[in-house]
A and B are shown apart, each in its own frame.
Chain A
């Protein structure tokens, strides 16, 4: 095993990677990890074999349209990576972990920032690198070894996205202060992440659903701007391994990355110190909470149900990470809501059915996110357990607290739809309610209590996520079919109910109260 000099950058990086690896693997044993990795490799082989056979040794011509396509793909990957790195950079200011130890050691701020930045860049690179592997390796083995340069391009994009993410987070920090950065940074990350989807949805604004826009884009790409050697073609040329564009891409990314670390290392340390400081005079949160409380004094009236629901809403509203997740799902829902309304006014049943299905699916996802955190995230389970309230009543209040905001958000869309098309409105109302309630029930049946602070790094349960996905698809199909051919909707409804019964049976909630 290689041993780096203590205190050196590689030594610190090796330490950071070891911790990240252990955190990612959790308590899984070596055999389980080997099975997971082996399974992934077999899956990749199954995908890549046909690609390898079809590519053969044929020559692939890089046309201007293909070049433009690759450029757009890189832009999409950059935006998704930026969303990830911006969110990670914002959290880096507040997650203490071992930062106190590092900051109090004689290590330079630049070294600490460099390691944190590499730690931020690595996951997106690994994710997109892994996704590209089934295409790149067969291509390399069947006569296109230069395409392996795509890995270098992906690494460069990851570095650029990380530098941009950290730069943006620190700019926000300087402009609006540490407390607001926590929320605004997460919301911005969600917006960046959804930008591709929103851009794609924007084409639907046009009467011809963007067909003319697409033709225009192809015409634009066919012009000389994307021809061989043109600056706009460089990213695509770097992917297919042209030496000069590849060198420029790598050098540019490396330069920006190193410049950021060199220039902002000291600033990062100062910001991280402020981010963690909680007793340094009235902060944004303090001022805001004072304003809020003067506007809405504490409400001592009401039942235990009201008290629990109010507490959950307050905590949901004050969780920046959760807010960004909710915003992301809202951003997915809103265009659907708009277009379903328009399609209903045009009496286009097929599109209304499609929209109702999509809306049903996203409502389930949104309800799942809120229910998961409202039900399982509890910082004071002993307080609730010691109170004279029955545990069932607490859970019902938490479920209601999670589902009420979903109902409030989706109600205007459903009312508008019902006004234009009563049957579609009724179907969508029932389907979205089913979707939301089943997502909530799943989170009750698979309750895994933990402090709120643990949720950011823990992520959701894989079983619950898959179950929400499966049920969401069932209810979405049922909604779409009920609008177009009601009798056929019985099939997905039956499957959905059977799945619900199955999950109820295998559910294994861990109760703390």
Chain B
């Protein structure tokens, strides 16, 4: 399954004003892709359309070649979505939550149980596996949600601000996990406002502004393209979006 993990053509979404406007995006399979942009640029709207939460007004979305419009269930089977607000149930324990998510993705029981244990141990939640999530801090809830997103071993993992609310240790765990997943062949797309993270982790970077993809490439390609050799991603990004810097 080579080629592109996510391919978006002519994507458009209008709420009261245009949120995404004729956006084209190709994310290579196996890449860790950072989608950047100023607040309100259309990053989250694009990702929510990609995972099937919003219906585009126009355009096409394909996940590993599976068309989201004609076969959404097959496309959803291949991916996972983790927004900045954890998608969990306070009254369930982490183990019960993973059991529920595994059920939604119809995983075989034995494999699901093994994967759940591995994930909970990886995220240091094993000792709290039978405590209800209502007792957890925001960072712990975020880790439970991430474990849920990973339990079916998605080929495409889409994360919106995955480091929000995490302490330094947990953030490191998540970053390591994302890199490990891409090494195993999975594709990761994430949005973040922490540009140092994107610079260090991402294989490719896309910048969205006013609902359109205005720049795309590896870090080096972006530096060359915008005449910012030797500069940080922050400098390049500010140059791309045309922000005034004091």
Contact = CB atoms under 8 A, between A and B. Distances in A.
Contacts of B91: 314-315, 318-319, 452
Contacts of A294: 130
A379 B95 contact: no
Nearest to A294: B130
A299 interface: yes
A382 B53 contact: yes
A310 B135 contact: no
Contacts of A98: none
Interface string B155-179: 0000000000000000000000000
Contact of A379 (B77, B89, B137): B89
A300 B148 contact: no
B16 to A, nearest CB: 19
A314 B102 contact: no
Interface in A299-327: 299-304, 306-308, 310-311, 314-315, 318-319
A294 B79 CA distance: 32
A293 B93 contact: yes
B88 interface: yes
A304 B96 contact: no
A387 interface: yes
Given A310-B100, A386-B81, A278 B135 contact: yes
A301 B136 CA distance: 27
Given A307-B99, A311-B92, A300 B113 contact: yes
B104 A286 contact: no
Contacts of B88: 379-380
A307 B92 contact: no
Contact of B81 (A302, A306, A382, A388): A382
A390 B52 CA distance: 12
A304 B103 contact: yes
B89 A286 contact: no
Contacts of A452: 89-91
Contacts of B107: 300
Given A293-B130, A386-B80, A390-B73, A315 B89 contact: yes
Interface in A358-406: 379-380, 382-390
B144 to A, nearest CB: 11
B130 to A, nearest CB: 4
Contact of B100 (A283, A311, A388): A311
With most chain B CB atoms within 10 A of its CB, the pick from A293, A306, A380, A389 is A380
B52 A383 contact: no
B153 interface: no
A380 B105 CA distance: 15
Interface string B67-90: 000000110110111010001111
A72 interface: no
Interface residues of B, number: 44
A286 B53 CA distance: 34
A293 B95 contact: yes
Contacts, number: 119
A300 B81 contact: no
A298 B129 CA distance: 10
B44 to A, nearest CB: 12
Contact of B131 (A289, A307, A319): A289
Contacts of A301: 109
A386 B51 contact: yes
Interface string B164-205: 000000000000000000000000000000000000000000
Contacts of B96: 298, 311, 314
Given A383-B148, A388-B73, A388-B105, A279 B135 contact: yes
Nearest to A390: B73
Contact of B135 (A286, A315, A379): A286
Contact of B90 (A304, A379, A389): A379
Contacts of B112: 300
B103 A289 contact: no
A386 B76 contact: yes
B132 interface: yes
Given A279-B135, A307-B103, A386-B52, A380 B95 contact: no
A285 B132 contact: yes
Given A289-B130, A311-B92, A388 B77 contact: yes
A279 B137 contact: yes
With most chain A CB atoms within 10 A of its CB, the pick from B99, B105, B137 is B99
A294 B92 CA distance: 15
B229 interface: no
With most chain A CB atoms within 10 A of its CB, the pick from B79, B81, B90, B96 is B96
With most chain B CB atoms within 10 A of its CB, the pick from A301, A308, A383 is A383
A22 interface: no
Nearest to A281: B135
Interface in B111-160: 112-113, 116, 129-132, 134-137, 148
Interface of B: 51-53, 73-74, 76-77, 79-81, 83, 87-93, 95-96, 98-107, 109-110, 112-113, 116, 129-132, 134-137, 148
What 5 A-B pairs come out closest when comparing CB atoms?
A307-B103, A387-B104, A301-B109, A293-B130, A380-B87
26 contacts: A278-B136, A285-B132, A285-B135, A289-B132, A290-B130, A293-B93, A294-B130, A298-B98, A300-B109, A300-B112, A300-B116, A302-B109, A304-B106, A307-B99, A307-B100, A307-B104, A308-B100, A311-B96, A311-B103, A314-B91, A379-B87, A380-B89, A386-B52, A387-B101, A388-B77, A390-B73
Given A300-B103, A388-B106, 7 more contacts: A300-B112, A300-B113, A303-B103, A383-B87, A386-B51, A386-B52, A386-B53
